[in-house]
Amino acid sequence: MHDICLNMPPMVQTFDPEDLFTRRCIWVNGPVIVGAGPSGLAVAACLKDQGVPFIILERANCIASLWQNRTYDRLKLHLPKQFCQLPNVPFPEDFPEYPTKFQFISYLESYAKHFSIAPQFNETVQSAKYDETFGLWRIKTIRKIKKLGGLSSGGCAECEVEYICRSLVVATGENSEKVVPEFEGLGEFGGHVMHACDYKSGEGYGGQKVLVVGCGNSGMEVSLDLCNHNANPSLVVRSSVHVLPREVFGKSTFELAVTLMKRFPLWIVDKILLILARLILGNVEKYGLKRPSVGPLELKHTAGKTPVLDIGALEKIRSGKIKVVPGIRRFLPGKVELVDGQVLQIDSVVLATGYHSNVPSWLKEDDFFTNDGTPRNPFPNGWRGKGGLYAVGFTRRGLSGASLDAINVAHDIVKSWKEETKQKRKTVAARHRRCISHF
C-alpha cells in the first residue's frame, strides 16, 4: 500500500531512514524543483527568501554536478563574474574577474548553505505528468539508497518514489547529457576514447597524438590544455565556428556586447563584434576556422551555438601546435581517416561534441517544451508553462539568463502560494466558525 504524507514540509531532510523503504508516495507542500545546478539553487534561494517550502530532486550526490564532476580542471568562467552570480548574493570581492571553476563551486556551496538549501540527492526523475483531473503533477523517481548496514556492506539499493505537487520547476539544464556521435570504425580504433565531460587535464598525455573532435569552447580549451602538457592535438572542425577575443582592448567582449545591445539591434552588434574580432585576431579562416554565415550572438540565441571566447588556443593554432583538420570519415585501428582523404595516426580521442537537454526523456508534455528539450517560447518568455509548470536555465544566455528566470519563476510561485494559503486560511476559519456555532 502507498502511504501518502500530506503537507509535509521539505520532508526529505527529516526522514527516518526506515521511511526510505516504506514511504513511496509523497505529497509535497510547494513546488518540486528538478536539478540542483545553479538554476535550481537560484529558484530555491528566491523561494526560501519568501518562506515558500519546496523540495529539490537531484540525480547526483552533490549540488552543481556539471561543475563538480563533468568539467576539466583548468576551466574558468568565461564571462566576467558580474554576469555569473546568482540572485541576492554577489561573488566575494576578492574573486578575480573570471573565477576558476573551484571558486565558482565554493560560491555555490556557500550559496546553498546561506539559504539552508538541502536537495534530495541520488534521486533521478524518470517521468513527470500532469494529472488534469486533480490539477496535480505526478513525478516518478528512482532513488538510490545505501543498503542497510551502511558502507561496510557495500552496494546500493534502488526504490521508486512518486511525488505529488501543484507545481514543477524544470532546472535540469541545457547540458544535462553528453552528445556522443556514432563514427564508422570507432569500435576497432583501439585507443582511448572519452567525452570532454570526463577530461580533467592533459597530465599523462605528454607525447601523445590526440584527436579532439569539435571546436566549441570545450574542444578549443581541451586542445590548449593538451598543448600545455606537451601532447600533440589535432582539432576536428567539420563545419564553422565564431572565434571572438575574450577581451577587446582590455574590456570583456561579452560586457561590450551587452552594452551595445542596449542601443543597437542584434545584427549591428554582431557586425561590430566581427569587425573587432577581425582587427584583433586577424583572418582566422586561413587556419581552417571558417565563420558561420549568421552572426555570433544571433547564432547563440537562435541555435544555441556558443561562440568561442578565445583564451589562447588560437595562438597555438597559429603556431601549428594545434593542427586544425576537417571532418571525420571513419576510424581505423590506431588511425582516423578524414573527409579530405588524409589519414592520421592517433593515440587517443576526446569527443568535445557538446551536450543536450534531457527534458523530453522524462517530461510527459509536448506543449511547453520542444522535441529538443528547450521551451517553445523564446527568451524572455520561456519560463512559464501551464498548470504550474516552469523552466529555469533554458534561455541560451548562460548563468545570467538562469538568474533572470529564477527571479521570474519564484515571483510567480510566491504569488500563487500566498493566494492559496490565504484561501486555505479563510476555509479553515469558516469551518472553525461553523464548529463553534454548533455548541
Ligand X SMILES: O=C(O)C(=O)Cc1c[nH]c2ccccc12
**Residues found near ligand FAD in the complex (CB under 6 A):** 34-40, 57-60, 64-66, 71, 75, 77-79, 84, 124-125, 171-176, 218, 358, 362, 393, 398-399, 402
For ligand FAD, the closer CB: 175 or 201? 175
Stretch that binds ligand NDP, among 43-51, 249-257, 350-358, 385-393 (CB under 6 A): 350-358
For ligand NDP, the closer CB: 24 or 356? 356
For ligand X, the closer CB: 244 or 322? 244
- As a whole number of angstroms, the distance between CA 155 and CA 360 comes to 30
- As a whole number of angstroms, the distance between CA 230 and CA 203 comes to 9
Which residue of 163, 254, 331, 394 would you call a contact of ligand X, by CB under 6 A? 254
Q: Are 179 and 354 in contact, with CB atoms under 8 Å apart?
A: yes
Residue among 72, 70, 67, 323 at smallest CA distance from 222? 72
Q: Which cell numbers hold the place of 133?
A: 483531473
Report the partner that residue 377 touches, choosing among ligand FAD, ligand NDP, ligand X, none (CB closer than 5 to 8 A by kind): none
Smallest distance, ligand X to C-beta of residue 37, A: 12
- As a whole number of angstroms, the distance between CA 210 and CA 205 comes to 8
Please enumerate in sequence order all residues whose Cβ is within 8 A of that of 140, keeping only pairs 6 or more positions apart, or say none. Answer: 125, 126, 127, 128, 160, 161, 162, 163
Q: Which cell numbers hold the place of 9?
A: 514540509
For ligand NDP, the closer CB: 234 or 353? 353
Q: Which cell numbers hold the place of 275?
A: 569587425
Angle at 372 between CA 308 and CA 258, to 5 degrees: 40
Smallest distance, ligand X to C-beta of residue 307, A: 5
Report the partner that residue 254 touches, choosing among ligand FAD, ligand X, ligand NDP, none (CB closer than 5 to 8 A by kind): ligand X
Smallest distance, ligand NDP to C-beta of residue 83, A: 11
Q: Does 79 bind ligand X (CB under 6 A)?
A: yes
For ligand FAD, the closer CB: 57 or 236? 57
Q: State CA 232 to chain mean position distance.
A: 30
Stretch that binds ligand X, among 203-211, 304-312, 344-352, 368-376 (CB under 6 A): 304-312
- As a whole number of angstroms, the distance between CA 203 and CA 150 comes to 35
- As a whole number of angstroms, the distance between CA 319 and CA 312 comes to 11
- As a whole number of angstroms, the distance between CA 114 and CA 265 comes to 39
Which residue of 35, 173, 219, 398 would you call a contact of ligand X, by CB under 6 A? 398
Stretch that binds ligand NDP, among 73-81, 104-112, 201-209, 374-382 (CB under 6 A): 73-81
Please enumerate in sequence order all residues whose Cβ is within 8 A of that of 85, keeping only pairs 6 or more positions apart, or say none. Answer: 91, 107, 399, 403
Smallest distance, ligand X to C-beta of residue 328, A: 24
User: Could you tell me the maximum CA-CA distance found in the chain, to the nearest angstrom?
Assistant: 94
Q: Does 291 bind ligand X (CB under 6 A)?
A: no
Contacting positions for ligand NDP (CB under 6 A): 75, 77-78, 175, 181, 196, 213-219, 221, 236, 238-239, 306, 327-328, 352-355
Contacting positions for ligand X (CB under 6 A): 78-79, 254, 300, 306-307, 309, 397-398
